[in-house]
A and B are shown apart, each in its own frame.
Chain A
C-alpha cells in the first residue's frame, strides 16, 4: 500500500523532476537564474516553472489541434468541393474563453503573493542595510552603520536577508545577481529598496542590466557571501585597513611613504580615497577582476592607468601619461596597489 502510494507520488513528480533536470542543466552556477542560490531567486524560479507549466499545457493542446488540422484537411488535386461554411460555435468559444481565464487565475494568485513577498524588506532592514550606488561604470557598496565602503564587490553574510538601497549617480543602471535575485533599477535622484539573500557561502556574478553607455557590457560586479563569523571579521578588517591607510597616508607621515604610496597619494587618492567618486581601493589586492572584467594582474593594471578609455570606453577615470607618472613610478604604484590586501 505504502509502496504503491510512493510509486504514484514518484510518478507524479517525474515530469517535475525531468523539468528540473532540464532547467538546472543550463548555464554556470555563479550566474544562471536557473540555479538559484538564495531565497529571492528561488521564489522567482518557482513561479517561472509554474508559468512555464501552465503555458506548456496550452501549447500542448494547440499543437495537437494544429497538427491534426494540417494533416487532415489538405485539399487534394482536383477536389473542387466547397467545404461547409461554419459561422462559429458558442460552446467552443465559451470553452476557450473560460478555461484560459481559470488558468490565469491559477497564475495570478501566486504572482501577487510573490510580488508582495519580494517587496517586503522589513526583516532585511533589521539585519543589515547596504547602500548600492551605481556609477559609470562601477559599483559602490557602502555599509553606513559600519563605516565601510567597497567598490565592485558586495560582501554579504550567508543565511539572512540584507536590505539594499539602490540609487545612481549618473544614468539609470540596474542591479542584477541572477543566482540570488532578479533586478532592481538604480535610478538617479530616486532610491529603490530590495533584499538579497544567499543560502551558502560563495562568489556570485552580478551584471548591470540597463543600457548605460558604451561600456554597459563591462559593468560586472561580484557578490561574495561569507559565513556570519567571516563576515564580521571582514567588516572589522576592512575598517582596520581603512584606518591604517588613513593613518599611513596622513601628510605628516610623508617621509615614511614608499615610492608607490607617494605616487598613489599624489595621483589617485583625491578620487579613490573616500570610495565615493571612484571605487575604493582599500582591498584592491583581493579583487577578482580589474575594471570589472579584466584579469587582475600588473600588466593590465598598468595599461589601465595609462589609458582607461581604451579598455573601458566612456569611463570617467582619466589616463596618466609618462609625464604624469613615469614608467618606473607606474611599476611601483602597481606593486603597491596589488599589495593592498586585507585577506
Chain B
C-alpha cells in the first residue's frame, strides 16, 4: 500500500468513542444493551399487565392506562427489544463468521443504530408527555386516528424513525453478506446464522416499506387531517389492517429466523456434530421467508374478506408448517448421535424445541380459518404468539447472549447462576402462557383490562400471573450476571467453548478492531472445525500481512438521528403548542439535513493501520497462545 498520507486518527476515549463508533462490534454491543434496556421496560409493563389481571375486577390500573400498557408492551418488545438485539447479534457475529473486517457500510450501520435508538426514545417519551399510545401495537384505525390524545402520534413517528434504522440495517447486511465474504466462503458454506441473517435482511427490505407507507398515512391522518381510514369521507378502515399485516407477518419471521440461526450454531457446537441437513435447512429458511409474505390475511380472518380469501390464506399458512417442521427434525437429528453437553446456551436451545413446537402446533390450529373465528383476539392467540416469540425468539436471544458474550466481551456469564436463571425462566414461561390457551377457549377476549368473577377464569389468570413473577425474578438474576461478568477481570481464551466450528472463534480475545489480521481462507462448511480435525490450531490465511484500511469514526449518524428525533417531537407538539412545535420541527429537520450535507461534502477516505502495528499484534497473540 502506497499511501500513508491518512495517518491513524487519535483514539477517542470514553463516551465519545461510543457515540462516534462505526465498528460493527461496538455497534453490536450498543444494539444489545439498548435492546436489553427496552426488554426491561417491556418486561415491567408486562408485569403490570399481569398484576392487573391477577384477580377479577382488580383496580390496579384503569382501562385507559391498561391499554397504554399493552400497546407499549407489544411495540417495545417487538421493535425495541427483540429486533434490535437480533440485529445486535448480526453485528457482533456475521462479519466475523464470513471473515470480513467490517460491514459493507459502516457509517450506515451507525446511522441505523442511532435512528432505532432515538425512535425508541421518542416512543417512550410519550409516558412523560401525558399519554402513551393506546390503540394496541396493531394500531387499528379508526381507534388509532381519534385525535383526543397525542399517544398514537408518538407511535407513528417513533416507529417511523426507528423503522428507517431497521431498513438501513437490512440493506447493509444484504450487501455485506453478498460482497464481503472471505475467499472460499461460498454461499453454501456460510454458517447457518449468517444465512438466517441474510434471509431476515431480505425480509426487512421487503416488509418494512408497507409499514412505512402505513405509518405515513396514519401520520397524515392524525397531523394533517387526511381521511384515508375515515369511512365518512370515503376512506376505508381495512387498508390499515392490510398494510400493517403485510408488514406484520413477515416481521414474525424477521424475528424467528435469526433465532433459528442462533440455535443452529449452538446445537452443533455442543453436540460436537455438524448441522444435520444443512442444505435443506438453508432452503427451508428461504421457503419460510418466501411463504411469510403470502399469509398475512390469517391475522384478518374475522374482518369479513369472504370465504374464498379465508380458505386460500388458511391453506397457504398451513404450508409454512412443512419447512418449519423440517427444521425441527433436522435439529433433533443433529443431536442424534452427538456428544451433548449442556451449558446455559445449550439449555436454552434444547428447551426451545418443545416450547416452540407447541407454538407451531397452535399456529397450525390457528391457520384453520373456521376454528380461528373462535381463537381470534382471544387469549388463545396471546398464548400462541408468546409461545412463538418467547419460546422461540427470546430463548434465542438468551441462548445467543450466553453463547456470544465471551466473543463480545472476552468474559463469560456465570454458568451456575445462568442455570438458575434458565430454569426460573423456563418454568415461569410455561406457567404464564400455557393456561392462557384454556382462557381463550373458555371465552376470554384479549386486551381486556379486567374481567367479572364467575366466568371460570380466575384460577388460570392467577397461575399466569405467578408465572410472570418467575420470569421477573429470572430477569433480575440475568442483570446480576451481566454486572458480575462486566466487572470481572477473568478473561477467557480464544475458542472459549473448545468446539467452535465457525470463523468467529478463531479470533483472538478481545477481537482486534480490524478483526482478521489476515483474511482467512475458507475450505468448507464449519471451516474452523475442519482445520481442527486436520490437526491445525487455526485456519489458513489467504493474504500476507499488510496495511489495513479502516473507516473513520463519525458523530454525524448521531447528529442526524437527534435531528429526526427533534423533528418528530416538534410535529407532535405542533398540535398542542402550535408555533413552538413547528420551530422545533424545522430546527430538527435542519439539523439532519445539515449533517447529511456535511456527510456528502466532506471526503472521508478513512485511514490505514500500518503493517507494523499488525505484526506487533500478531507477535503478542502468539506469545499469549504459547503460554
Contact = CB atoms under 8 A, between A and B. Distances in A.
Contact of B448 (A31, A183, A216): A216
B533 A82 contact: yes
Q: Chain A at the B interface: mostly helix, strand, loop or mixed?
A: mixed
A100 B322 contact: yes
A67 to B, nearest CB: 10
Interface in A61-108: 62-63, 65-66, 69-70, 73-75, 79, 81-89, 92-93, 96-97, 100-101, 104, 107-108
Nearest to A206: B443
A133 interface: no
B321 to A, nearest CB: 6
B143 A171 contact: yes
B63 A217 contact: yes
B124 interface: no
Contact of B304 (A66, A111, A190, A216): A190
Given A27-B441, A83-B338, A111-B368, A97 B322 contact: yes
Nearest to A68: B336
A93 B326 contact: yes
A248 to B, nearest CB: 35
Contact of A209 (B338, B353, B376, B442): B376
Contacts of B358: 59
B339 A75 contact: yes
Contacts of A48: 365, 368, 371, 374, 441
Nearest to B230: A189
Contacts of A69: 332, 335-336
B456 A26 contact: yes
A111 B312 CA distance: 10
A190 B237 CA distance: 9
Interface in A157-188: 170-172, 174, 176, 178-179, 181-185, 187-188
- Best-surrounded residue of B232, B358, B368, B438 (most CB of chain A within 10 A): B368
A175 to B, nearest CB: 9
B136 A211 contact: yes
B377 A313 contact: no
B265 interface: no
Contact of B67 (A79, A89, A214): A214
B273 A85 contact: yes
Residue of B310, B443, B447 with most partner-chain A CB within 10 A: B443
A213 interface: yes
Given A82-B533, A188-B142, A214 B64 contact: yes
Nearest to A292: B452
B335 A104 contact: no
B447 A216 contact: yes
Contact of B438 (A26, A188, A220): A26
Interface string A37-57: 000010111011001101110
A108 B325 CA distance: 17
A62 B335 contact: no
Contacts of B306: 119
Contacts of A214: 62-64, 66-67, 134, 449
A209 to B, nearest CB: 4
Contact of B339 (A34, A83, A190): A83
A58 B232 CA distance: 49
A240 B352 CA distance: 64
A116 interface: yes
Contacts of A59: 357-358, 361
B366 to A, nearest CB: 9
B377 A210 contact: yes
Contact of A86 (B63, B236, B273, B303): B273
A27 B442 contact: yes
Contact of A85 (B135, B274, B450, B454): B274
B365 A172 contact: no
Interface stretch (B32-40, B79-87, B276-284, B412-420): B276-284
Contacts of A43: 370
A208 B445 contact: yes
Given A171-B143, A208-B445, A185 B302 contact: yes
B364 interface: yes
Nearest to B281: A88
A251 interface: no
B303 A185 contact: yes
Contact of B143 (A33, A182, A213): A213
Contacts of A52: 365
A311 to B, nearest CB: 11
B535 to A, nearest CB: 12
Contacts of A70: 335, 340, 350
Given A48-B365, A214-B63, A86 B321 contact: no
B237 A73 contact: no
Contacts of A118: 307, 370, 373
A73 B338 contact: yes
B277 A93 contact: yes
Given A41-B374, A104-B322, A217-B63, A58 B445 contact: no
A257 interface: no
A215 B63 contact: yes
B271 A83 contact: yes
Given A59-B361, A73-B336, A93-B326, A209 B377 contact: yes
B451 interface: yes
B612 interface: no
B318 interface: yes
B311 interface: yes
Contact of B364 (A55, A172, A189, A192): A55
A108 B314 contact: yes
A241 to B, nearest CB: 29
B216 interface: no
Nearest to A92: B333
Contacts of B304: 184-185, 187, 190, 192-193
B569 to A, nearest CB: 26
Interface in B318-345: 318-319, 321-322, 325-326, 328-330, 332-333, 335-341
B448 A182 contact: no
A119 B140 contact: no
A86 B274 contact: yes
A39 B357 CA distance: 32
Nearest to A101: B322
Contacts of A208: 445
A135 interface: no
Contacts of A89: 276-277, 333
A212 interface: yes
Nearest to A118: B370
B311 A65 contact: no
A190 B372 CA distance: 21
A56 to B, nearest CB: 8
B272 interface: yes
B443 A205 contact: yes
Given A85-B274, A185-B303, A217-B450, A171 B142 contact: yes
Nearest 5 CB-CB pairs, A to B? A189-B231, A182-B373, A27-B442, A217-B448, A214-B63
16 contacts: A26-B441, A47-B370, A47-B371, A65-B336, A87-B276, A89-B276, A114-B370, A170-B142, A172-B143, A182-B370, A187-B303, A209-B446, A211-B140, A214-B62, A214-B449, A215-B63
Interface of A: 26-28, 31-34, 41, 43-45, 47-48, 51-52, 54-56, 58-59, 62-63, 65-66, 69-70, 73-75, 79, 81-89, 92-93, 96-97, 100-101, 104, 107-108, 111-112, 114-119, 170-172, 174, 176, 178-179, 181-185, 187-190, 192-193, 205, 207-218, 220, 293, 313-314
Interface of B: 62-64, 66-67, 134-136, 140, 142-143, 146, 231-232, 235-238, 271-274, 276-280, 302-304, 306-307, 310-311, 314-315, 318-319, 321-322, 325-326, 328-330, 332-333, 335-341, 350, 353-354, 357-358, 361-362, 364-365, 367-378, 438, 441-443, 445-452, 454-456, 533
Given A88-B330, A96-B325, 11 more contacts: A52-B365, A62-B329, A79-B339, A82-B339, A104-B322, A107-B368, A172-B142, A174-B302, A182-B370, A182-B376, A187-B238
